[in-house]
Chain A
């Protein structure tokens, strides 16, 4: 049913429709509204037969989910930012044990300096932990991806992260079609665990594995994600057939046919990118974009097919791999090995810095004029950088960078102006 709801609420209702039996909650902005919503549904009985557990840390949150999943029930939790780093050890453990937990990430920057706004540093930090990572472009997709995620996770016995841009999606009210329970039940069968802690058929899970087998165990995790490359499009297709809309899949192209320049990006920024693409097209520029949904597994072949014909690729990333630059770019480049085309990385939107259509258009203009470097920073305030570097050159005790800059901007740590 079509409704105008907050993104977090849409995700919460979608998760509830998946009939989870254990939900672990630990508050961290901007994920909190999701578990708050679920908590309410458990309490008022809309989500029956589900245990909602308020834990004492993110580490405990995922650990509880590990226990409940191993005991054979559908398990869910959500986190963000520092939270996913705090549970990092358990993130690897869940995938190592092959437990099909679904976890929402309300994408947010990582401190210091502490920053509650959106970027992708958090989920990117755990990108190689053996979880499947899906990035939502809209709240509709955020909701739909959770339904697909449980199906995918349980088929492969592999945990899945659904990454939803903090605030931009989680706190945005927009139109979302929330499916009915029957529709979801028809798409998502009851959880049939591969392994379970069962007193009538005891096993030991989580053995210590030495050099003689560890390598193979790791490889098999990789093999699961290879299989996911096939299943993700199939599940998306089946979803489209049942629910009548496109959601998920490995990636989505926009006006890429005959495009000379193609922008690749994850998550909600693809909306603004499409606006920019349309404007460029209106100006007669052959520009297109690719929204990468499945970052892990990384769809090398699909990406190659989407970009193969272009002259240049601009990868827009909401995470700065300090010391190298882009992370998504590496995968894109790998997908294009052997194909000679210009590749540019653009780091944008860190710590909630707005990515505006205007900035994107001028970026694409410069791209068209081949003015982009290998690594570029969108709307980075060079003047501020220069002043701080000057300070540092001037005196050893130049003071805390973040506070210095805020002083320059004449803003207070709390106040955030819209533009």
Chain B
């Protein structure tokens, strides 16, 4: 993590801004004239983590490139709530083609920019977990393998929210979705082997892979700033809570994201050329329950007689992350 080492500034770099920090040390989001790449008036739910993550990321990219960014968007919540005719919330050149081809379309844009000799224009592809880890996975892997000059950002809210909260390959075990109801003898999503796309991205040996969370703005901005400058295929996986799909309070979006990180369930790290180069060390570690019980999708694990066995399995996953990534 290359977040600046916290000098003692009351809130250090934990808050968005800090009047005691030097101008250049402040977050892009703290800037009075920030670009608001995803403009007001979008139709995201109250407390939408994806809307937040997208503005954080694209603003950071615009700031780092002097607004020379083009974005390709996969079908999904972000696309639907940001560009319903006759209005768009985007301030940058933006295109939506299909659900599963964002990475490929971005490869095309990048190729066009190369052909036009506009390497100064940076290309970003973005999509949700469905468009990235499931239906868009083939195009994503192809883009990685060719090492096309594209930064792919996945906003992971762990299910197909746009269509009404159905299970995706990023949905965590035991989570209730519309297609993994909390009934039967294994309520919620079944325990699979998991599909860790950041690790899969690393297996492509692309120059840069990182995970980030809306709960850690500085880290997120810093990673986008680093990634946007690198040539070749880059991947950033951002954890963005969905109040609707997770059954969390809209006002808890950032808290939930923070708990995911501090519990170890969502490891925040950075990898270059396939090797982990930095990780976020847990600041105030919490048991997974602290995270899970904020979300109704896990309500069936609690209540009168808590499902201690399942909770233990989830805790084990967190502990494994903590061990594997040295969190």
Point out residues on A near B: beta carbons under 8 Å: 21-22, 24, 49-51, 53-57, 59-60, 63-73, 75, 89-90, 93, 97, 197-199, 202-210, 212-213
Contact = CB atoms under 8 A, between A and B. Distances in A.
A14 B70 CA distance: 32
Residue in B84, B109, B111 whose Cβ sees the most chain A Cβ within 10 Å: B111
Contact of A69 (B73, B84, B85, B108): B108
Interface in B72-112: 72-73, 79-80, 82-86, 88, 90-98, 100-101, 104-112
Contact of A97 (B90, B97, B110): B97
Residue in A21, A69, A199, A212 whose Cβ sees the most chain B Cβ within 10 Å: A199
B91 to A, nearest CB: 6
A394 to B, nearest CB: 44
B116 interface: yes
A203 B93 contact: yes
B138 A63 contact: no
Contact of A50 (B69, B83, B115): B115
B70 A56 contact: no
A60 B107 CA distance: 9
Nearest to B142: A56
Contacts of B116: 21, 71-73
Contact of B95 (A22, A57, A70, A212): A70
Nearest to B67: A199
A51 B108 CA distance: 9
Contact of A207 (B68, B84, B107): B84
- Report the contact-size class of chain B (Cβ under 8 Å from the partner): 35 or more
B101 A59 contact: yes
A78 to B, nearest CB: 16
Interface in B176-203: none
A57 B112 contact: no
A67 B85 contact: no
B121 interface: yes
B34 interface: no
Nearest to B89: A204
A337 to B, nearest CB: 37
Contacts of A22: 108, 111-112, 115
B166 interface: no
Interface string B134-151: 000011011001100000
A67 B98 contact: no
Contact of B92 (A66, A199, A209): A199
B105 A66 contact: yes
B98 A68 contact: no
- 3 closest cross-chain pairs (CB), A and B: A67-B108, A71-B112, A56-B142
B313 interface: no
B275 interface: no
B249 interface: no
A21 B79 CA distance: 28
Contact of A21 (B88, B98, B106, B112): B112
Contacts of B97: 63, 66-67, 90, 93, 97, 206
Nearest to A204: B88
